[in-house]
């Protein structure tokens, strides 16, 4: 029998108090106090303090510990003891241990490293307690997304990543060669979602999307994960309710299942406990007024900038829904407001605390002639959108949906300042390594 056969996870230790168990993991920290050594062991499931004394392991074995560098992999055998002061509630007294692989001098030390250094070492940085914690919250938030949609009868239908045309404007396309033709990395699965919704009613896709945005802000990544539901026979109001429900579900599940993680990230959870439907809803025009009362004039040709979104988000203690944006700042596929042709049946949801837009969605233009006109107005190639026009030729139906940026939403929920910490391997402006 090797250590691989009988080891348990550190997270399982509380169920084994008083027993002798085997663990395998990495040495996160090692320090000595008099004749005793303390090893902080991590195995990905949790961390635990292990106590080693020459009385328990013998002098020769004890001396071997001096070779054990930070991040070396080891197995240990020991007795699990209750320890009320320990975060995990337990401690392990070691009887025996073995070195699996000694680590070379570990580049990430307990000092402050610059962020470029950390990003260059993202493959190792991920092992740090804080990064591990953010990944746990991200995973739980993702599970909440799937649970939410499954419970509401939505089917997951994956959209392609190689696409023949733009969905969200031609200026942010990543172009690649596709057997001699141009293809673009998907900016959004929406157009395919609309086809899938006409086949299956309620669908969502969830995957990486790509934007060649030259922006270096704390909210932008060039590869980000988007969850995009689309439902046939749903209008803008239905779409807003769905987005509210999704956001609340993600927040509630994280609060319920990841409370210790939020605490260790020093997240002010009272801000999250507040997040319940309905969210405040204001029109774009009302948002402009609100900003102007605060002395901010929005550039008429640009729409909201990042700063404007921050101010809007900070004006409410829950995410705020801004709806009916003018058509000139939105995509070609959005249906116009029947009450005002200047406006679209669109909505963005802006997170509080300066995290900006986390959701963008709309009701879709379902009239063939109008859609054809929009494609022309936006200078998009109609040939590559023929299939999309087919959806209006063959049984057009009202359809609505939205996209939520998972990474940005997780940044807000965890309270981490920059989106780069929410992505396991962030793709940022001028950064594709590691």
Judged by the rule CB under 6 A, the positions of this chain that interact with ligand 4AD are: 167-168, 188, 190, 211, 213, 220-221, 224, 226, 228, 357-361, 401-405, 407-408, 419
Taking CB atoms, the residue at the shortest distance from Mg ion is 360
d(CA 406, CA 170): 23
**261 or 309: CB nearest Mg ion:** 309
Query: Under rule CB under 5 A, how many of the chain's residues touch Mg ion?
Result: 1
310 binds, among Mg ion, ligand 4AD, none (CB under 5 to 8 A by kind): none
**229 or 360: CB nearest Mg ion:** 360
Taking the complex as a whole, how short is the minimal distance between the CB of residue 391 and ligand 4AD, in angstroms? 14
SS3 state at 106: coil
407 binds, among Mg ion, ligand 4AD, none (CB under 5 to 8 A by kind): ligand 4AD
Taking the complex as a whole, how short is the minimal distance between the CB of residue 171 and ligand 4AD, in angstroms? 12
Taking the complex as a whole, how short is the minimal distance between the CB of residue 300 and ligand 4AD, in angstroms? 20
With beta carbons less than 8 A apart as the criterion, state whether 29 and 68 touch: no
For Mg ion, the binding residues in 342-371 under the rule CB under 5 A are 360
Locate the DSSP E strands across 43-148.
Answer: 47-52, 73-82, 90-101
**The pair of three-digit structure tokens given for residue 179, joined into one six-digit string:** 């057997």
Taking the complex as a whole, how short is the minimal distance between the CB of residue 360 and Mg ion, in angstroms? 3
d(CA 350, CA 356): 5
d(CA 165, CA 163): 6
Taking the complex as a whole, how short is the minimal distance between the CB of residue 346 and Mg ion, in angstroms? 9
Taking the complex as a whole, how short is the minimal distance between the CB of residue 256 and ligand 4AD, in angstroms? 23
**25 or 360: CB nearest Mg ion:** 360
310: left (phi over 0), alpha (psi -120 to 50) or beta: alpha
168 binds, among ligand 4AD, Mg ion, none (CB under 5 to 8 A by kind): ligand 4AD
**228 or 261: CB nearest Mg ion:** 228
**42 or 249: CB nearest ligand 4AD:** 249
Task: Name the maximum alpha-carbon separation found in the chain.
Answer: 85
346 binds, among ligand 4AD, Mg ion, none (CB under 5 to 8 A by kind): none
Of 42, 111, 30, residue with least CA distance to 67: 30
403 binds, among ligand 4AD, Mg ion, none (CB under 5 to 8 A by kind): ligand 4AD
**144 or 359: CB nearest ligand 4AD:** 359
**Angle separating helix axes 129-151 and 236-257, nearest 10 degrees:** 130
With beta carbons less than 8 A apart as the criterion, state whether 230 and 197 touch: yes
Torsion of CA 371, 372, 377, 378, to 10 degrees: 70
**167 or 246: CB nearest ligand 4AD:** 167
SS3 assignment for 235-300? CHHHHHHHHHHHHHHHHHHHHHHCHHHHHHCCCCCHHHHCCCCCCCEEEHHHHHHHHHHCCCCCCC
**21 or 419: CB nearest ligand 4AD:** 419
CA 80 to chain centre: 36
Taking the complex as a whole, how short is the minimal distance between the CB of residue 230 and ligand 4AD, in angstroms? 6
Taking the complex as a whole, how short is the minimal distance between the CB of residue 94 and Mg ion, in angstroms? 54
Q: Which residues bind Mg ion (CB under 5 A)?
A: 360
């Amino acid at each position: 029998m090797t250590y691989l056969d009988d080891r348990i996870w550190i997270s399982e230790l509380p169920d084994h108090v008083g027993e002798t168990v085997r663990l395998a993991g990495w040495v996160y920290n090692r320090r000595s106090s008099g004749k005793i050594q303390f090893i902080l062991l991590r195995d990905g499931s949790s961390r635990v303090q292990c106590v080693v004394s020459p009385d328990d392991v013998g002098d020769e074995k004890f001396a071997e510990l001096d070779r054990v560098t930070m991040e070396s992999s080891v197995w240990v055998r020991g007795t699990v003891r209750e320890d009320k002061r320990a975060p995990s509630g337990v401690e392990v007294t070691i009887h025996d241990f073995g070195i699996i692989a000694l680590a070379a001098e570990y580049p990430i030390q307990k000092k402050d490293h610059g962020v470029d250094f950390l990003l260059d070492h993202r493959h190792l940085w991920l092992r740090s307690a804080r990064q591990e914690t953010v990944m746990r919250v991200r995973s739980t938030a993702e599970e909440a997304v799937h649970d939410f949609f499954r419970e509401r009868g939505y089917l997951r239908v994956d959209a392609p990543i190689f696409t023949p045309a733009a969905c969200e404007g031609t200026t942010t396309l990543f172009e690649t060669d596709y057997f001699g033709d141009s293809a673009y990395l998907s900016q959004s699965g929406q157009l395919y979602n609309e086809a899938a919704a006409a086949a299956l009613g309620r669908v969502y896709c969830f995957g990486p999307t790509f934007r060649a945005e030259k922006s270096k802000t704390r909210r932008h990544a060039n590869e980000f994960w988007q969850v995009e539901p689309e439902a046939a026979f749903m209008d803008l109001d239905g779409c807003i309710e769905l987005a509210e429900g999704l956001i609340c579900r993600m927040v509630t599940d994280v609060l319920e299942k990841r409370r210790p993680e939020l605490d260790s990230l020093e997240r002010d959870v009272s801000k999250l406990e507040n997040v319940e439907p309905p969210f405040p809803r204001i029109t774009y025009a009302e948002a402009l007024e609100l900003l102007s009362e605060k002395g901010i004039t929005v550039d008429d040709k640009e729409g909201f900038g990042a700063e404007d979104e921050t101010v809007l988000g900070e004006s409410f203690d829950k995410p705020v829904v801004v709806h009916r944006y003018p058509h000139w700042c939105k995509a070609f596929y959005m249906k116009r407001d029947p009450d005002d042709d200047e406006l679209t049946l669109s909505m963005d949801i802006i997170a509080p605390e300066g995290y900006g837009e986390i959701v963008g969605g709309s009701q879709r233009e379902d009239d063939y002639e109008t859609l054809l006109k929009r494609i022309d107005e936006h200078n998009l190639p109609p040939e590559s959108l023929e299939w999309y026009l087919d959806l209006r030729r063959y049984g057009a139906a009202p359809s609505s949906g939205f996209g939520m940026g998972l990474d940005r939403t997780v940044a807000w929920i965890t309270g981490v300042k920059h989106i780069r910490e929410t992505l396991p391997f962030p793709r940022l402006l001028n950064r594709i390594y590691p």
